[in-house]
A = this chain, B = another copy of it.
Amino acid sequence: MRIAVDVMGGDHGCGVVIEGVKRALEADSKISALYLVGKQEDIHAAMQVSGLVDKRVHIVHSTEVMTMEDKPTVALRKKKDSSIAKAVDLVAEGKADAVISLGNTGGILTFATFKLRPLPGVERAGIATVIPAPDNEFVLLDSGANIECKPLHLAQYAVMGSVYSREILRYKNPRVGLLCNGTEEGKGNELTKEAYRLCKQLDLNFVGNVEGHDLFANKVDVVVCDGFVGNIVLKTCESLAVGIFAMLKRELVRNPKRQLGAYLAQNAFRVIKRRMDPEIYGGAPLLGLNGIVMKAHGSAKEKSIMNAIRITTETVQNRINKTIVEEIQRANERLAATKSEE
């Protein structure tokens, strides 16, 4: 298996990325080639620091970096030698099976959509983020790729999210729900009402509308929404979790009695921190593209990068795109059939 890693564009520089790559290579013998894409001199320096020497590593030099400030559509024309462009090229040319990037989400999406194209039958790619809940993990998609969605896009996200939950997270019959302002069938905006009608026709374990209260209550395994809502929900959850733990920390150090209590109970906090850790998955795939594309957190560090590579190899191995193509085709046929009956 051959993986391309865009080592530029992360918040902590390319050193942590290469450290994560080193760990992933040590852990996974299935990786036959690993392309480090970025500024050659930076990569060489970081490899020396981390002591990464591995015959599977190939350096692909790029002169430019897509920054957070770059407009994706402009960068597509102007930054043809950016690390993300060249990393995606490796997949497009068949030299790599998957690409991982920490950079600008819009940029990755734009380059990947342009160079790889959507899978047959898929209208739009979506980002599938795995979110840990107390008693399950749910996939939220789209979590930020497609801001202005059509009902069919949501129905296709339902299909792709279901495949991802089944094949990668190992949920046997994932419960798929449409994120809404209430659970009753009549609830929702125009977009979700029509998406509801489409999803009901598909061969899914569709549980209907789900509301915010259901997300962390083990009621749904795949949460479908447009990228505007999904991005807000994802970031709000991250912000609230950070806020609660910050408050907790502040209160727990306020006096010696509480400090002792916190010390004795520290393993409880550790378990929760580990459970809620966004680094467990490290990356969120852009589902629906003709190639495996993984978006890692901009703030990802070694462990997170290693995990992103692990998830990426699992995704390649499971041939998830083959399954997506089959199930999207079946879904499209079914929707076309009901439409012609109407």
Mark A208-225 against chain B: 1 for CB-CB distance below 8 A, else 0.
000111111100000001
Enumerate A210-249 residues with CB–CB distance to B below 8 Å: 211-217, 225, 227-229, 231-244, 246-248
Q: How many copies does the complex hold?
A: 2
Among B211, B216, B231, B262, which residue has its beta carbon within 8 angstroms of that of A265? B262
A269–B189 alpha-carbon span in the complex (Å): 38
A336 interface residue (CB < 8 Å to B): no
A134 contacts B181, C-beta separation under 8 Å: no
Q: How many Å lie between the Cα of A248 and that of B148 in the bound state?
A: 38
Interface residues on A, range: 35 or more
The answer to whether residues A235 and B258 also contact, given A228-B181, A244-B276, A268-B251 and a CB cut-off of 8 A, is no
Question: Nearest chain-B residue to A216 (Cβ)?
Answer: B243
* A148 and B189 contacting across the interface, CB-CB below 8 Å: yes
Q: Does A49 reach chain B (CB closer than 8 Å)? A: no
Whether a CB of chain B sits under 8 angstroms from the CB of A58 is: no
* Complex CA–CA separation, A272 to B258 (angstroms): 13
Given A189-B148, A235-B212, A239-B217, decide whether A268 and B258 contact each other with a Cβ distance below 8 A. yes
Interface hub of A214, A237, A242 (most chain B Cβ within 10 A): A237
A214 near B243 (CB under 8 angstroms)? no
B239 and A240 form a contact (CB under 8 A)? no
A147 touches B268 (CB 8 A): no
Tell which of B134, B144, B261 touches A262, judged by Cβ atoms closer than 8 Å: B261
B residues less than 8 Å from A258 (CB atoms):
264-265, 267-268
Q: Tell me the nearest residue of chain B to A214, going by C-beta.
A: B239
A241, B238: Cβ atoms under 8 Å?
A: no
Quick one: given A148-B189, A244-B244, are A252 and B239 in contact (CB under 8 Å)?
no
Given contacts A232-B181, A234-B212, A275-B247, whether A265 and B252 have CB atoms under 8 Å apart is yes
Chain A residues in the interface with B (C-beta under 8 A): 71, 133-134, 144, 147-148, 179-182, 186, 188-190, 192, 211-217, 225, 227-229, 231-244, 246-248, 250-252, 254, 257-258, 260-269, 271-272, 275-276
